[in-house]
Structure 1
């Protein structure tokens, strides 16, 4: 039997080494296209090359390591996750899936002649979307869903996405050449920390992901009338901030009333020209709405929009409601999930099925290929935070389950 604890220790060492590469000392920050991102990718590239993989960097900056099958007409099974991070991130979100996949391919490198399909490990370049306020740049290029209009988008320093790609050595006009056509996919597997507390509370190391919640992000602007804090009577005010504050509570109450499947979050509030002695005349806030049920998501979106408009009218405010992003819910592949459930049970663990409230590269991949995901328990469900942590025993469990899952696919051909 494979020495999973020893392999988990090696996996942990690699995660720590990658986490030490950052744009800012003392924290983990590696956003798309930055020198720290490239340095981190170069380290993972060295490990891929040492494992005997055929390695290349594509035009969007994805790192791709391949074990080629000798079978004529073989399709490609992709194992992947991302190596970019949010600002002040944890160590495991993204890199765990990439480096776990590297361990799996290291074990198979000497047996490539037996492979019924090609295996390709993807370290996606941009899933978090921090620098250009995008999502899934790396996996959208791989799947052919990239939108060329995004090339003109600029970061906070005024650098365009096209310029960033060129700086990394890519060619923004050749992104279509990096697509893996739908007909060539065998499937997709991604291991990822849960980013939620269910596995932690139940003290179970892994879970099978059944679906990924759909998402709608909205930017709302409440406009009233700025005025002197001491001279405008309370009954005559058009206070944009109190209107936004009421909406924050409204969104929370609305989601709570709809049960566990719907979540709503207001994560940003901006008050232009704020001062302690000025009634706020304008407030910009965000709304993040998610559900695994498309009908529920659409209905909730419309109801919240109507309630926000009614709130604004009642307070004498105007409201701009702008849909920033829309992603449909995704169901993981039934056949791949059956194999993953069998691997979990075969490794001796309870079979727990969860819906992911967070987005993953599996979302665009699922539009062209069967996809499945394995969640790994993380400390108290904390993610996008330096406290993010995974126990070595849980890494060992994830390696065992993933290896048995992959072995089942190889046996099936």
Structure 2
């Protein structure tokens, strides 16, 4: 039995390596939404789906979708999904692992001619990371029916709007509303993903049950001071935008360290307009990423940091633009599915470890319309969004066994008609 799962894991690993070879750069893995590399990668995944005998389609936002049908046309739909877009200089496993493991599960069901009491839809989401248009979950929000059509006018860094990007991708934005799965048609949602944290790695446990996903608030800040000659403006008379931004970065770090208990604050972007070594920075733009599994804590941290930052700007005589770019509330995974997943983990002989995800996932928008759960898979030192991402074959094989058992338990819950 173990060799059976190892063989399946080896095939998935081969596919992951093939997909990772398709990238916008040669050093890491970069396939951002709508780029030629993304389209080539999606085409490769589509070829594997169709080779398995699955009919495929690309929806209005560029999601790749395939269905394994029940004999009952009125059956509900259980979705297996993750994403195939990446951040810049990413690893190989974040997103694609879940898609390719889901494909393996369907290949097994097809090979065994399993009679399904529900439809299974496999979705490779087109944009979870939000790198290009700075709004995450574009793909899953379409499926959940929560896509905001105002986003179609949002431009990327090159001025290309989302609507134009979809035209280039030959995706029909007019179909977006029809691409949602109606709430009454959902049976549930299951996503497999690397942990993106060190717990499983340190404890040498292959999988974990995800009980909740932290809420997130993303802010764009611009500090506007006065550019000036580095040699002629006295220190006490400067309006240095970078010094204000630097103070903000340290305040954000210290605030999260002090308040802790799940709260994290990250400044991941910092850019200077017209930067030069002999010019006092006049304008600096940076980001703030706040996350917490506690909605009240997240809101309080947001308000406090905005107040602190406004005070910094006032003391340094610089203007501040504070813009909330994105907000997602913390979500709990569905208890009914969690119970079955915990049973599957235990039946496979593993300790049931329950974790809260600090990272966002497509399960967040889906959870608004359907029962959703996730399984984390052990990843090298918990490293993600980094070329060092790695999953060992033994852990992947263990996760496949758990997933097989989980789907079997779900089938037992639904009478075959």
Q: TM-score, normalised by structure 1?
A: 0.96
Q: How does 1:302-341 map to 2 (within 5 A)?
A: 302-341=303-342
Shifted more, 90-99 versus 139-148: the winner is 139-148
Q: Take 2:72 and 2:114, find their aligned partners in 1: how far apart are those partners?
A: 8
Displacement, 1:113?
Answer: 5.7
CA contact (8 A) 2:135 2:326 kept: no
SS for the counterpart of 1:399 is helix
Shifted more, 289-298 versus 14-23: the winner is 14-23
Aligned residue for 1:250?
251
CA contact (8 A) 1:225 1:279 kept: yes
CA contact (8 A) 2:82 2:96 kept: yes
Shifted more, 197-206 versus 33-42: the winner is 33-42
CA contact (8 A) 1:336 1:372 kept: yes
How big is each residue's C-alpha offset from its partner over 1:225-272, in whole Å with a ceiling of 9 and x where there is no partner?
323322333223222211211111111010011123100011111221
Q: Does 1:83 align with 2:116?
A: no
Aligned residue for 1:276?
277
Aligned residue for 1:163?
164
SS for the counterpart of 2:250 is helix
CA contact (8 A) 1:291 1:329 kept: yes
How many residue pairs get aligned? The number is 413
Q: Take 2:114 and 2:339, find their aligned partners in 1: how far apart are those partners?
A: 26
Displacement, 1:161?
Answer: 1.7
SS for the counterpart of 2:124 is strand
Q: Take 1:157 and 1:271, find their aligned partners in 2: how far apart are those partners?
A: 18
Shifted more, 74-83 versus 17-26: the winner is 17-26
Aligned residue for 1:212?
213
Aligned residue for 1:374?
375
Displacement, 1:217?
Answer: 0.8
RMSD: 1.5
Q: Take 1:280 and 1:164, find their aligned partners in 2: how far apart are those partners?
A: 34
Q: How does 1:58-73 map to 2 (within 5 A)?
A: 58-73=59-74
Displacement, 1:26?
Answer: 4.3
How big is each residue's C-alpha offset from its partner over 1:255-306, in whole Å with a ceiling of 9 and x where there is no partner?
0111231000111112212222222222211111000111100001001111
* Cα 1:284–1:169 shift into 2, 3 Å: closer
Aligned residue for 2:7?
6
Displacement, 1:110?
Answer: 4.2
Q: Take 2:113 and 2:137, find their aligned partners in 1: how far apart are those partners?
A: 30
CA contact (8 A) 1:74 1:116 kept: yes
Shifted more, 176-185 versus 31-40: the winner is 31-40
Q: Take 1:223 and 1:57, find their aligned partners in 2: how far apart are those partners?
A: 44
Shifted more, 291-300 versus 195-204: the winner is 195-204
Q: TM-score, normalised by structure 2?
A: 0.95
Q: Take 1:321 and 1:129, find their aligned partners in 2: how far apart are those partners?
A: 20
Q: Take 1:333 and 1:227, find their aligned partners in 2: how far apart are those partners?
A: 56
Q: Does 1:233 align with 2:234?
A: yes
CA contact (8 A) 1:29 1:86 kept: yes
How big is each residue's C-alpha offset from its partner over 1:79-131, in whole Å with a ceiling of 9 and x where there is no partner?
00011111221110110000000111111114556211101111111111222
Q: How does 1:10-409 map to 2 (within 5 A)?
A: 10-110=11-111, 114-409=115-410
